[in-house]
Amino acid sequence: MSTFKTLLSGRSRALVRWEFGLVLLLIATMIFGANESKYFLGWQTFFFAGLNFGEIAIMALPMTLIIITGEIDLSVASMLGLSASLLGYLFIHGWNIWLAMGICLIVGILGGALNGALITILGLPSIAVTIGTLTLYRGIALIVLGSNTAQGFPVSFTKLSLPIAHTHIAWDFAIFIVLALIFGVVLHSTALGRSIFAIGLQPETAFFSGIRVKRIKFSLYVVSGLISAFAGLLYTFQQSSSASDTGLGLELNVVAIALFGGISIFGGRGTIIGVVLAVCVFGSLQASLTAINVSAQAQNIVTGCLLLVSVLLPNLTQSFSDTKRKLQRRKVVGT
């Protein structure tokens, strides 16, 4: 484990610099938005940003842990859509709302278990598996609800689209913060978290040092399925309706937030605080672009550019550092 600690300490400085950059970018987007609209810094902007990005932010938390292990889950948005469609189908067919929600969460666990089993037991690549289940879960959602739209959910649940009483905080964002604290403690303060980093850094070494690599990866996919299904319930109540295309394409935003938060696509590096900052940057940026009437399609271009930057910049920086070390070693050998 000393090797792991050495690698982590070496990368922690880069993460601090990355997170400091996110703070500066967040301040810049807020200044830009405030200049474009006098209402930007009002509570409405804060509330709607939390409302719009809540489910995406929630799904980014288990995605973070999965990417740190060197894997990925591209089926999260489709599981969200399947959960929403199944909830709508069961509700319009007279099921008790609590029982229907329980069924949806179980389906999320089973969906995550399917991903985990194909990846850890059969040894299939996670990107191929989750692209397949992305299509599978979306297809099942279409079969379950078809072109119908389910509405008329109990008011006690659709109130989740309103701020928390006596505050201007969206329920989705508050739930995200609570989950972020839990995930942060697990990742940074427990043996499980250290094992997750070890798996991402050197999976074979982690295995031979006694870490149950397959079991941990399988469990993370189960958690991802559960959280995605839960996000589907929140999304349904927020919109007061559900359809088979709910959450279509949101997986791009989930991955973008995780990577932009400093999570290495190659695994072994990242922090939950970085992901929280990335959520705030994305929310502030979306609100800023909306204030100047930038279309949703154009905003997707910005998201794609940030995704590329989050992948390219850390690798370019690492390559530069490696080249610098090699040159320094040559100078030492030359003298």
pLDDT at position 71 is: 96
pLDDT at position 51 is: 85
Q: Which residues contact 86 (CB under 8 A, 6 or more apart)?
A: 100, 103, 104, 107, 141, 144, 145
pLDDT at position 231 is: 96
Compute the distance between CA of residue 59 and CA of residue 206 in angstroms, rounded to an integer. Answer: 26
Question: Chain centroid to CA 219: how far?
Answer: 16
Number of other residues whose CB lies within 10 A of the CB of residue 316: 10
The pLDDT tens digits along the chain (335 residues) read 444 454 445 455 555 678 888 899 899 988 988 888 777 788 888 888 888 888 999 999 999 999 999 999 999 999 999 999 999 999 999 999 999 999 999 999 999 999 999 999 999 999 999 999 999 999 999 999 988 889 989 999 998 888 988 888 899 999 999 999 999 999 999 999 999 999 999 989 999 899 999 999 999 999 999 999 999 999 999 999 999 899 998 998 899 999 989 898 888 889 999 999 999 998 888 888 887 888 877 888 877 887 787 777 766 666 665 566 666 666 665 65
Compute the distance between CA of residue 63 and CA of residue 258 in angstroms, rounded to an integer. Answer: 7
Domains observed in the chain: 2-318 (1.10.3470)
> Taking a C-beta distance cutoff of 8 angstroms, is the pair 1, 194 a contact?
yes
The conformation of residue 140, written as its DSSP 8-state character, comes to H
Give the burial string for 288-310 (b: 16+ CB within 10 Å, else e): bbbbeeeeeeeeeeebeebbeeb
Query: Taking Cα atoms as reference points, which of 122, 136, 145 lies closest to residue 245?
Result: 145
pTM, two decimal places: 0.87
Number of other residues whose CB lies within 10 A of the CB of residue 99: 10
> Taking a C-beta distance cutoff of 8 angstroms, is the pair 84, 234 a contact?
no
pLDDT at position 285 is: 86
